[in-house]
Amino acid sequence: MVEIKNVQSLLLEAKKLDEAIEVPVGVMVGKSYKKSSDYKGIWNNTQQSLSSIVTDKYQIIQHRDVYSAVANKLMDLNIPISGRLDNGNDYVKADLIFGDNQYNIKDDAKGIKLGIRVINSYNKKTSFRLEMYGYRIICQNGMSFGDKMGVRELTFHTGSEKTYDMIAETTAKFVTDVINSNKKLQDYVSKMMADSTDYQTALSIIEKLITRKKHYDEMKKLLEKKSAPTRWDIYNAVTDYVSHRDISGAVQRRLEKRSQTLLVTPIQTLRTMKIRGGDDE
């Protein structure tokens, strides 16, 4: 993980990210090699390793293009940022917080800073993706809002060429949509803080959302001092666990998705709703 202090440091880190190229792939049939006309390989040229095998319609979106375009567009919009960048070579994620306090969301403590999450991969783990993101100041919890806020941008690696200009244009529209949605998020947070229940019901809701016992037990501890926990308390128990525990990226993404259900679903509905699927190991 690399700390991002400002737009300039994001630009600097972008230049260090891995580059990918297309390579032919095929199969050995006996002693003969047959090249595929329908598939190709994505080769991480920096790591000198195969990232994935994809269809011939797949278009590479370079990490460097993504994060340079995002940084330059934020500079054009005059939005200061800070955050962190996780570089997994084939998979890169950046959580960037807007430095301008006018976009902050009020909660029951010091508030939430608004921002964006930027993701790209060469290994088909994800498409190039932009998500609305938040950072709770008092406990340093990260908050991924996914598509619950209606401002999620996802660009598939197929179709027309994915250019730097396309990424910059997508980013500009997305950042504007995020800023325009801060009132909607404030409404969600206010409703969560007013939606309370008893301790046992809160635990039963977490148990529905978080089926793996080791995750559930840790979140239960975070609610022990709450005699009448609110939906906001439950939500923060999940985001606290995701933000400050050593868990795999796959589990982190699943738990973040579950936390998004709390963002928009009243306790009365959560009590009776059935939630499909587990939260992985």
Under the phi-then-psi rule, with left for phi > 0, alpha for psi from -120 to 50, and beta for the rest, what region is 140? Answer: left
- pTM of the full predicted structure? 0.83
Q: What pLDDT digit, counting tens, does each position of 187-233 carry?
A: 999 999 999 999 999 999 988 888 788 888 888 888 887 889 999 99
pLDDT in tens, 53-110: 999 989 899 999 999 999 999 999 999 999 999 999 999 999 999 987 777 888 888 8
Instruction: Report CA torsion sign: 241, 244, 245, 246.
Output: positive
Contacts 24+ apart (CB under 8 A), 222-225: 223/199
Annotate 55-117 with three-state secondary structure. ECCECCCCHHHHHHHHHHHHHHCCCCEEEEEEECCCEEEEEEEECCHHHCECCCCCCEEEEEE
